[in-house]
Structure 1
Amino acid sequence: MTASSTRRSTAVRSRIAAVGAIAVAGTLLLTGCGDQTKSKNNDSGSGSASAAAPLADKLPASIRQAGIIKVGSDIAYAPVEFKDGAGKTVGMDPDLADAMGKQLGVKFQFENGTFDALLTGIRSKRYDIAMSAMTDNKSRQEGVDPDSGKKVGEGVDFVDYLTAGVSIYTRKGDTGGISTWSDLCGKKLAVERGTVSEDLAKSETKKCTGGKKITIEAFDDDQQAQTRLRSGGADAASSDFPVAAYAVKTSGGGKDFQLVGDQVEAAPYGIAVAKGNNQLRDALQAAMDAVIKSGEYQKILAKWGAEDGAVKESVINGGK
């Protein structure tokens, strides 16, 4: 999900867009196994491999022959990836994957999993990649637990494709005096487990004084965190800006939540690829660059209200 060294170190998993631009259309923690069920109703691919695809020869032969790239994703993070009313996987990431698939001649097959287990899924070869509003940061690149600073895995490479920041939101008309992260001291905050929002909250609570710590309630997905806030079980919630803004716009017809304060620590979203899988990584970068240059990238971002986070080119491991 997003952020700097923290669905996403202690920086943030994020996305940048103006609140008015969010239309209604629109972690490296290696713990937990969560729901790993396949998204059966996903149509976000381009079909079988095609010789007409201009970048097909850049893919590893095994993937080119299979015609499929298996994508681990937390499909509960609207508007980036989520299920629509018919159960189909939709959102900004699936649309971008579809456009990349046309360049590569393969289908991107999205499979649902809890965010904090996606990188483990890459290591176990359950997935070829993870594409899930994941913030590219050094801890994930190097396989380091942001809490302990200890090496916990091989790390991954990222193909960056968007810039985003983290936001706080509350129940509408009930901000509790919260406008900055320091205002959360003594409050309850709902977040998705393994995200930059959780990492940032852990970092911020160390700064609290007078015994007023932040009570962090971490859930398997962002929708559960929203439900907790909506029911009054938390004082605030936090997620990447596009997701927070989408929740504010759509939940309860716009009557449930409101954004408070500014989004913080903008950082790149990246597609995660296993270390050493350089051919796949470079093929994905070439495909993303082609989508950007074609103009389709900008159209997709505008469709989901994320155009302010657009990048001019895809880079490898641009996170800090």
Structure 2
Amino acid sequence: MRLRALLSLPLAALLFLPAACGDGDDDNKGTTGAAAKADPALNASLPEAIKKAGVIRFAGDSHPPYRIVGPDGKTVTGIDREIQEALGAVLGVKTEIEIVAGLPAALTGMQSGRYDAFNGPVKDTAEREKEFDAVVWMVTRTAYLIPKDSKAGIKTSDDLCGKKVAGTSGSIIEDQIKKLTTWCTGKGKPAPTFIGLADTNAIILAAKSGRADAAGMTESAAIDAMAKEKDAYTYVSQTDEQGAGVDQLAMLVPKSSKLGPVILQAFKAIFANGEYKRIMDKYGLQKVVVTEPKMNTAAG
């Protein structure tokens, strides 16, 4: 667009021009057409640093179907990419995803200011809420993926006692294994052994290779893995008696950034405009949706 034409535009139009003119060449950067959906009030409420940058930077590890990383290690598709684009559209900014090696790297990256948010799915806990605002946007149950040719004899979640279970380090699964351990030992059975690895791909490989007897993950991730490799896996779900329950999964945002309350309002906007439902329906996640987004539910 020529300089003369730019100067003739009103200030409100210039405010949302960067989001509307995203480069479109980088599969991890931005959303096009954000100007048509952007809410000026939401954009105005963004922290000054983000308004100036015109972008929200997300950390993300490899976690299908939430983040499906392409062969180049940079191109990302999946639920998170679409949720982030929908949020960016109503906020009038672009979004970027940088792939990191697991949850600890995402948390430290946010604490250092390298990233603005991490979409998880990560459990909302009172401990995490000391440093991060947690915007809950879905729930889950814990599942354990098992290769069909496994000799471990896992038919129900009871059979996980005494077995080697791979899971993402620092994830909700690590916490669930602790609860399962309490149940197993209370029944006089041996405790499961947790093998902490970097991401979902790594834990599936561990189960497939025999390094682990099962791979712990969210139920939606287990269903996705089974769909990708037909007849290769089965899964069992941890029961309420074994401490599973329904976990609140959240997007984490550093409290110091003041971005959390704005993200909450952006989530409310994509619930209202139907984008949240469209995305969750697209990926078959009707069982894990919430009726409305909430923030910091664990500490309350």
**TM-score bin, normalised by smaller chain:** 0.7 to 0.9
Q: Offset at 1:93?
A: 1.2
Indicate whether 1:190 and 2:166 are aligned.
yes
TM-score (structure 2 length as normaliser): 0.80
Partner of 2:53: 66
Q: Offset at 1:41?
A: 4.6
Match of 1:292 among 271, 275, 297: 271
Partner of 1:77: 63
Alpha-carbon distance in 1 for matches of 2:133, 2:276:
22
Indicate whether 1:236 and 2:206 are aligned.
no
**Is the CA contact 1:53–1:105 (under 8 Å) kept in the aligned structure 2?**
yes
Partner of 2:80: 93
One-letter amino acid of the counterpart of residue 197, structure 1: I
**Is the CA contact 2:142–2:176 (under 8 Å) kept in the aligned structure 1?**
no
Match of 1:163 among 115, 118, 139: 139
Match of 1:268 among 236, 241, 248: 248
**4+ residue runs over 6 A deviation:** none
How many residue pairs get aligned? The number is: 265
Which whole-Å deviations, capped at 9, do the CAs of 1:39-64 have from their partners, x for residues lacking one?
Answer: x9533522598597212112112211
Q: Offset at 1:317?
A: 0.9
Alpha-carbon distance in 2 for matches of 1:305, 1:195:
23
Alpha-carbon distance in 2 for matches of 1:211, 1:266:
25
Match of 2:27 among 24, 39, 42: 42
Alpha-carbon distance in 2 for matches of 1:51, 1:250:
35
Partner of 2:98: 111
One-letter amino acid of the counterpart of residue 232, structure 2: D
Partner of 1:222: 200
User: Taking CA–CA contacts closer than 8 Å with sequence separation of 6 or more, which of the two structures ends up with the larger relative contact order?
Assistant: 1
- In structure 2, relative to structure 1, the CA distance for the partners of 1:268 and 1:122 (3 Å cut) is same
Match of 1:204 among 167, 180, 183: 180
Partner of 1:29: none
> More deviation in 198-207 or 89-98?
198-207
**Is the CA contact 2:64–2:221 (under 8 Å) kept in the aligned structure 1?**
yes
SS in 2 for 1:46: coil
- In structure 2, relative to structure 1, the CA distance for the partners of 1:201 and 1:306 (3 Å cut) is same
Partner of 1:124: 112
**Is the CA contact 2:146–2:233 (under 8 Å) kept in the aligned structure 1?**
yes
**Is the CA contact 1:72–1:130 (under 8 Å) kept in the aligned structure 2?**
yes
Alpha-carbon distance in 1 for matches of 2:272, 2:34:
22
Indicate whether 1:134 and 2:122 are aligned.
yes
Partner of 2:191: 213
Q: Offset at 1:166?
A: 1.1
One-letter amino acid of the counterpart of residue 315, structure 1: K
- Structure 1: which 5+ residue stretches go unaligned? 1-39, 143-154
More helix by share: 2
- In structure 2, relative to structure 1, the CA distance for the partners of 1:290 and 1:78 (3 Å cut) is same
SS in 1 for 2:250: strand
**Is the CA contact 1:230–1:256 (under 8 Å) kept in the aligned structure 2?**
no
Q: Offset at 1:177?
A: 4.0
Q: Offset at 1:312?
A: 2.1
**Is the CA contact 2:58–2:117 (under 8 Å) kept in the aligned structure 1?**
yes
- In structure 2, relative to structure 1, the CA distance for the partners of 1:266 and 1:45 (3 Å cut) is farther
> What is the RMSD of the two structures over their aligned residues, measured on CA atoms?
2.4
Q: Which has the larger radius of gyration?
A: 2
SS in 1 for 2:141: strand
How much identity, in percent, do the aligned residues show? Answer: 29
**Is the CA contact 2:37–2:89 (under 8 Å) kept in the aligned structure 1?**
no
**Is the CA contact 1:156–1:274 (under 8 Å) kept in the aligned structure 2?**
yes
Indicate whether 1:53 and 2:38 are aligned.
yes
Alpha-carbon distance in 1 for matches of 2:246, 2:118:
20
Which whole-Å deviations, capped at 9, do the CAs of 1:228-279 have from their partners, x for residues lacking one?
Answer: 111222211110111111112212xx1221012456322222111112433x
Alpha-carbon distance in 2 for matches of 1:298, 1:292:
7
One-letter amino acid of the counterpart of residue 166, structure 1: T
- In structure 2, relative to structure 1, the CA distance for the partners of 1:64 and 1:48 (3 Å cut) is farther
